[in-house]
Amino acid sequence: MVNTELQEKIDPSRLPRHVAIIMDGNGRWAKNHSLPRVEGHWAGVKVVDRIVTLSRKLKLEALTLYSFSDENWNRPSAEISTLMKILSFYLKKELKRMKEENIRFNTIGHIEDLPGEIQKLIRNSIEDTSDNTGMTLTLALSYGGRQEIIDAVKAIAQQVHSGQLNPEEIDSCLFESFLSTQSLPDPDLIIRTSGERRISNFLLYQSAYTELFYSKVLWPDFSDDDFLNAIIDFQGRERRFGMTQEQIVKA
């Protein structure tokens, strides 16, 4: 249940447009509870449900969840298999809710690396929610920030080579149009759980001016209150984007 006192502290006019979350700590949570590692991942899905619901209630424009990195393919095959089962379960379960709650589903990353059945579920979810105008829920799957930048550079280089693009035309706006996040605003806030203090190859280009919030709470224990406190902390910061404090005040 949401803490109403905390929710009342949030200024609706200063909400982050886009919140991204590195959901970390499932394995340690399972170990702390003397459970198999995969049980931590299943416990984490329940938290995803709650945070998506709360984000929708807060009327956030976009929520992005770092669900499976391109480096996660190096994990034991049994764990990868379980993660794919969880992803399949989530996509099947959540489609109806996304349609009912006006949530647009989106993904970033090398989706072609995922099992065929999951690729089909992803395509169906994207298509069935494409007309929704509420919050955009993005899952980062087989995603890596460095690889995303490399992919963009390759695509731009191909257009230059073919004569479709003049190198003089390349600027930040054009470059961003080649990123997988081209339809999303840059994240205003990135939350990482479990106490780790790094962004682990997540949205590297997009996070140039992102506020970072590190929580010591393991993802399966991450509560609605923890999320609200991260939003409140964000609203207490002064975002200058390279300007002086005096310029911010005048603006």
Catalytic site residues? 24, 72
Cα end-to-end distance, the chain, whole Å = 38
Q: Could you give the 3-state DSSP secondary structure of residue 3?
A: coil
Q: What are phi and psi of 141, to 5 degrees?
A: -130, 130
Contact 199, 207 (CB under 8 A): yes
Q: Which amino acid, residue 10?
A: I
Strand (E) positions, 151-210? Answer: 189-192
Cα 51 from Cα 179, distance rounded (Å): 26
217 CB contacts (<8 Å, ≥6 apart)? 25, 193, 194, 223, 226
Query: For helices 77-100 and 37-58, what crossing angle results, to 10°?
Result: 20
- The C-alpha atoms of residue 235 and residue 95 are separated, in whole angstroms, by 32
- What tokens were used for 106? 């989106």
Q: Which residues of 14-51 are buried (b: 16+ CB within 10 A; e: fewer)?
A: ebbebbbbbbbbbbbbbeeeeeebbbbbbbbbebbeeb
Which tokens belong to 22? 């590195």
